[in-house]
């Protein structure tokens, strides 16, 4: 892995997932940034997303989660309309450590939970870009907001049922999202 930048609060989650070969092999390259999925930043409505901060935040549901994305400071691009340098996180990966509390049938993660996780990744991608724009995430090059015309999510797991971490077996899921 090239230069790894760990945002405050991300080291514990990084240590958890980095010790798992399946997860480590899927970390993005090069110049990844690691950020915690849950943090203390509020969204202006006085809420940090109670579904993920409360309901799905337990050893039996989702015990660990982490966001990885390419450091936009390492490759700023040119916005053809404004001719100014701008930054945009075009893709990110969110890793979730699933417990048996998200099972639908047997040891299979409920489809509604999987849809919720995919929705979460799209929200994470938008939040990353907004926080970069407003300086809440520091970068080497100042960014400007770029509105998105299309979002193409990718489920980056096998097509087989997603098992959870019940019966002593780990259950991990990685979702990715792209802005194009």
How many domains, the chain?
1
Q: What is the pLDDT of residue 154?
A: 54
Give the tens place of pLDDT for each residue, 79-113: 555 555 555 788 888 999 999 999 988 888 898 99
Burial class (CB in 10 A: 0-12, 13-18, 19+), 72: buried
Could you tell me the residue range of the domain that residue 159 belongs to?
5-179
pLDDT at 161: 53
Q: pTM score, two decimals?
A: 0.71
Give the residue-averaged pLDDT of 129-155: 56
The confidence band for 167, taking pLDDT boundaries of 50, 70 and 90, is very low
Residue 118 has pLDDT above 80, yes or no: yes
């Amino acid at each position: 892995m090239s230069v790894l930048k760990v945002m405050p609060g991300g080291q514990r989650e990084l240590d958890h997932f980095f010790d798992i070969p399946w997860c480590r092999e899927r970390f993005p390259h090069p110049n990844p940034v690691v950020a915690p999925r849950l943090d203390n930043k509020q969204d202006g409505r006085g809420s940090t997303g109670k579904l993920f901060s409360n309901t799905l935040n337990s050893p039996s549901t989702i015990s660990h989660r982490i966001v990885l994305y390419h450091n936009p400071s390492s490759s700023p691009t040119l916005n053809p309309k404004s001719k100014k340098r701008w930054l945009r996180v075009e893709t990110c990966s969110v890793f979730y450590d699933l417990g048996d509390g998200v099972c639908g049938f047997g040891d299979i993660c409920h489809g509604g939970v999987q849809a919720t996780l995919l929705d979460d990744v799209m929200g994470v991608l938008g939040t990353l870009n907004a926080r970069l724009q407003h300086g809440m995430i520091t970068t080497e090059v100042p960014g400007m907001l770029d509105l998105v015309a299309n979002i193409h999510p990718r489920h980056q797991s096998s097509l087989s049922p997603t098992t959870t971490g019940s019966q002593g077996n780990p259950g991990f899921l990685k979702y990715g999202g792209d802005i194009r």
